[in-house]
């Protein structure tokens, strides 16, 4: 049972890390290589807020908002110029953003490791099913589930979601209906950046904060996005659960096979459902 609980915490952490990436790809068609850098920036910003206020919760509240603002600026100043061009320009641009964000982070915070302690009341373990489970892990499960539900409602059930989907699938038609497509795109990129930073803040008490942390998560994010179906939030939730549970079972019974299992899932998906398990075509078939 403890394996399932830990698997859920792995899954929702993965979802928080990859949700922004899948949202930006799904709604804007942009493969955002800088997603990991924004995740890292979220962790550093929360560190700064914790240093100044002593509160993890203020970091959780404000760091993603700050990074969302930065994301909006990036979209207005840089990304907007390349929407009409080939995908390669978007890739190059977001790759360039990684270098800029990395160097800016180095200049502001230096090279040394930073750390954010676990909030006091979540720092101890809880006895569940004969195992000691970290309270913080339980919080990650609850928080991740809430965020995934919120995103689902926002994108699939709200008027805002309908506007976003309309602007994504037929921007010209959306414009004729009076929708400011440019503003919608800026908002979507800001929301994706918000989610990347949220992942960084949530991960901060679990890992050291350092310059390479963005790079180390981006591969996992892409695995989730590819398995779930490019740009599909429901797919991202399912892929995160699949990957998290596979890893939890792998670490329990065959540690050395975990990476192999992970990439086997990825290769299997690419072979049999190249557009992902929850691609639009897949769902309607």
Partner 1 sequence: MKRRNFLQTAGAAALVTTLPAPMLRARTAEEFHIAAILAFSGAYGLIGNDMRKGAELAVAKRGGMVLGKPIRFTWEDDETKPQPAVQKASRLLAEGAQMMFGAVSSASTLALQSLSTQRKVPHLVTISADDAITKRDGAPYSFRTSNTLGMEVNMSMEFVKSRGLKKIYAVTADYQATRSGFEQFAELAKAAGVEIVGNDYAPLGNRDFSVIIDKMARSDADGIAVMATGNDGITFVKQAAQIDLGKEKVIFGPVLQDDVFAAATGPAALGVNSGVRYHYSVDNPANKAFVEAYREAHGAFPSSFAGEAYDGLSWWLDVVEETDSWDVDAWVEAFANSVYEDSVEGRKEMRACDHQASQVGLWGEVVRGEAPMPELTMKITEIFPAERLFDSC
Residue 143 contacts partner 1 per CB under 8 A: no
Residue 120 contacts partner 1 per CB under 8 A: no
Distance CA 146, CA 53 (A): 26
- The residue assigned the tokens 């010209």 is 172
- Tell me which of 247, 269, 276, 278 binds partner 1, using CB under 8 A: 247
Instruction: Tell me the window of 63-71, 130-138, 151-159, 227-235 that interacts with partner 1 (CB under 8 A).
Output: 130-138
Residue 255 contacts partner 1 per CB under 8 A: yes
Q: Please tell me the count of residues contacting partner 1 according to CB under 8 A.
A: 44
Stretch 194-233: interaction string toward partner 1, x if CB under 8 A: ---------x-xxxxxxxx---xx----------------
Residue 124 contacts partner 1 per CB under 8 A: yes
Q: Which two tokens stand for residue 261?
A: 């299992």
Q: Which two tokens stand for residue 170?
A: 């037929």
Distance CA 202, CA 204 (A): 6
Give the residue with the Cβ less far from partner 1, 2 or 182. Answer: 2
Nearest to 235 by CA among 18, 4, 8: 18
For the chain, what's the residue count?
Answer: 285
Residue 248 contacts partner 1 per CB under 8 A: yes
Please, what is the end-to-end C-alpha distance for the chain in angstroms?
35
Residue 245 contacts partner 1 per CB under 8 A: no
Q: Which two tokens stand for residue 92?
A: 């190059």
**CB 116, min distance to partner 1, A:** 8
Cβ distance 39 to 207 under 8 Å? no
Give the residue with the Cβ less far from partner 1, 4 or 153. Answer: 4
Q: Which two tokens stand for residue 224?
A: 């989730």
The kind and range of the H/E element at 236 are: helix 233-253
Where on the chain is the footprint of partner 1 (CB under 8 A)? 2-3, 6, 9-10, 13, 111-118, 123-125, 130-137, 203, 205-212, 216-217, 247-248, 251-252, 255-256, 258-259
């Amino acid at each position: 049972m403890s394996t399932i609980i830990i698997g859920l915490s792995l899954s929702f952490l993965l979802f928080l890390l990859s949700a922004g990436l899948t949202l930006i790809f799904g709604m804007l068609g942009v493969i955002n290589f800088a997603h990991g850098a924004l995740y890292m920036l979220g962790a550093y910003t929360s560190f700064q807020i914790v240093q100044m206020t002593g509160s993890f919760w203020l970091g959780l509240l404000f760091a993603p908002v700050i990074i969302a603002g930065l994301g909006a600026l990036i979209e207005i100043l840089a990304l907007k110029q390349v929407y009409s061009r080939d995908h390669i320009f978007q890739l190059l641009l977001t790759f360039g953003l990684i270098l800029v964000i990395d160097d800016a982070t180095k200049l502001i915070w230096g090279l040394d490791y930073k750390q954010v302690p676990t909030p006091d009341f979540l720092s101890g373990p809880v006895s569940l099913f004969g195992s000691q489970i970290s309270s913080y892990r339980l919080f990650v499960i609850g928080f991740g589930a809430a965020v995934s539900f919120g995103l689902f409602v926002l994108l699939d059930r709200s008027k805002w979601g309908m506007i976003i989907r309309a602007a994504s699938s037929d921007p010209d038609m959306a414009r004729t209906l009076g929708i400011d497509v440019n503003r919608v795109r800026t908002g979507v990129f800001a929301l994706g950046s918000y989610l990347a930073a949220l992942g960084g803040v949530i991960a901060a008490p679990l890992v050291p904060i350092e310059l390479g942390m963005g790079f180390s998560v981006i591969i996992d994010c892409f695995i989730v996005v590819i398995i779930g179906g490019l740009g599909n939030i429901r797919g991202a939730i399912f892929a995160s659960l699949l990957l998290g549970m596979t890893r939890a079972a792998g670490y329990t019974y065959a540690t050395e096979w975990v990476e192999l299992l992970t990439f086997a899932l990825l290769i299997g998906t690419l072979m049999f459902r190249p557009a992902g398990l929850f691609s639009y075509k897949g769902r309607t078939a």
